[in-house]
């Protein structure tokens, strides 16, 4: 039997602070960013954050605990902060709710639920956050090709991005049950999928083949179960829903 999880997890909740002070409590834990107060200070800033170290990565999630009353607030990372803190990694953001409007110089990017985006901490930016849930994976820069920096502010390609998004959600939800013995294998699987997503090429896709096969099979199985009574259920519909060609679906799910 596997031993209990020994992963190091950091947890923070603003609920420990008085309602009127919860946004300030959130800001106090985030020294690498500048903040602009919410547009409606009458709404308590009820938010939770957890972050778990898994090998070279950190798997985090920001959860908004007041879903019936969302607010918008500003967030920025300045050149001065970049020089001061020396953060040198990427954030892979899987947006689950609300919205984020990013400003990268003259370029604007609207992040909507379901999108998977790469953010480079070595670049300045501004954003307006409409509260919701987000999965945040911290990626060490030195594990990726230098060209990965060119993806700053970009959405991942839909097909591979969808596979990785499903994987990250399942990974995060199952973190509490992981044992120390399982971590090295999951770290390698995660590394393979991340490489295949952010720097796709024949080598990285081959290395991630097992993980991609498993993810595609699960996505196809889930879609079929949800549409068993749909008269239009067919291989072409499945392929369109999960973002692969019919030959690829056949070859990936044959096992």
Q: Can you give the CATH number for the domain in which 88 is found?
A: 2.60.120.10
Percent residues over pLDDT 70 in the chain: 82
| Alpha carbon 61 to chain centroid, angstroms | 8
Do the domain assignments include residue 241? Answer: yes
Residues ≥6 apart with Cβ < 8 Å to 133:
61, 62, 63, 64, 96, 97, 98
Same domain? For 130 and 244 the reply is: no
Q: What value does the mean pLDDT take over residues 132-153?
A: 89
Give the mean model confidence (pLDDT) for residues 161-188: 86
* Residue 216 and residue 110 in one domain: no
Residue 115 sits in the same domain as residue 219: no
Distance of CA 240 to the CA centre of its chain: 23
Q: Are residues 19 and 78 in the same domain?
A: yes
- 162 part of a folded domain: yes
Token pair for residue 60? Answer: 């985090």
Model confidence pTM above 0.85? no
| Residues 104 and 129 reside in one and the same domain | yes
Question: Across residues 204-221, what is the average pLDDT?
Answer: 53
- 50 or 219, greater pLDDT: 50
Residue 1 inside a domain? The answer is: no
pLDDT over 70 (residue 137)? yes
Close Cβ partners of 169 (under 8 Å, ≥ 6 residues apart) = 94, 135
pLDDT digits (tens, 9 = 90+) for 49-80: 999 998 899 999 999 999 889 999 999 998 88
Position 161 in a domain: yes
Residue 220 lies in a domain: yes
Mean pLDDT for the chain? 82
Task: Give mean pLDDT, residues 123-152.
Answer: 90
Report if residue 231 sits inside a domain: yes
pLDDT at 41 over 60: yes
Distance CA 198, CA 151 (A): 8
Q: For residue 205, is pLDDT > 80?
A: no
Same domain, 159 and 73: yes
Instruction: Judge if 57 and 136 occupy the same domain.
Output: yes
Mean pLDDT, residues 3-25: 87
Same domain, 226 and 142: no
Domain enclosing residue 234, as ranges? 206-251
């Amino acid at each position: 039997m596997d031993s209990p999880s020994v992963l190091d997890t950091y947890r923070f909740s603003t609920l420990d602070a008085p309602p009127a002070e919860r946004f300030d409590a959130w800001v106090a834990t985030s020294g690498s960013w500048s903040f602009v107060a919410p547009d409606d200070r009458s709404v308590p800033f009820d938010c939770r954050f957890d972050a778990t170290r898994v090998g070279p990565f950190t798997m985090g999630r920001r959860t908004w605990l007041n879903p019936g009353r969302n607010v918008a607030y500003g967030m920025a990372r300045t050149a001065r902060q970049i020089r001061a803190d020396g953060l040198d990694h990427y954030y892979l953001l899987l947006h689950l709710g609300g919205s984020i409007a990013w400003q990268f110089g003259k370029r604007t990017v609207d992040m909507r639920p379901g999108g998977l985006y790469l953010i480079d901490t070595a670049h300045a930016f501004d954003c307006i956050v409409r509260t919701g849930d987000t999965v945040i994976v911290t990626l060490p820069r030195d594990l990726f090709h230098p060209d990965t920096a060119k993806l700053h502010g970009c959405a991942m390609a839909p097909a591979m991005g969808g596979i990785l998004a499903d994987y990250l959600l399942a990974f995060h939800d199952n973190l509490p049950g992981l044992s120390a013995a399982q971590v090295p294998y999951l770290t390698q699987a995660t590394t393979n999928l991340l490489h295949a997503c952010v720097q796709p090429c024949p080598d990285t896709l081959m290395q991630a083949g097992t993980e991609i096969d498993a993810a595609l099979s699960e996505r196809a199985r889930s879609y079929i179960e949800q549409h068993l009574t749909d008269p239009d259920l067919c291989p072409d519909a499945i392929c369109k829903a999960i973002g692969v060609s019919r030959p690829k679906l056949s070859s990936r799910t044959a096992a």
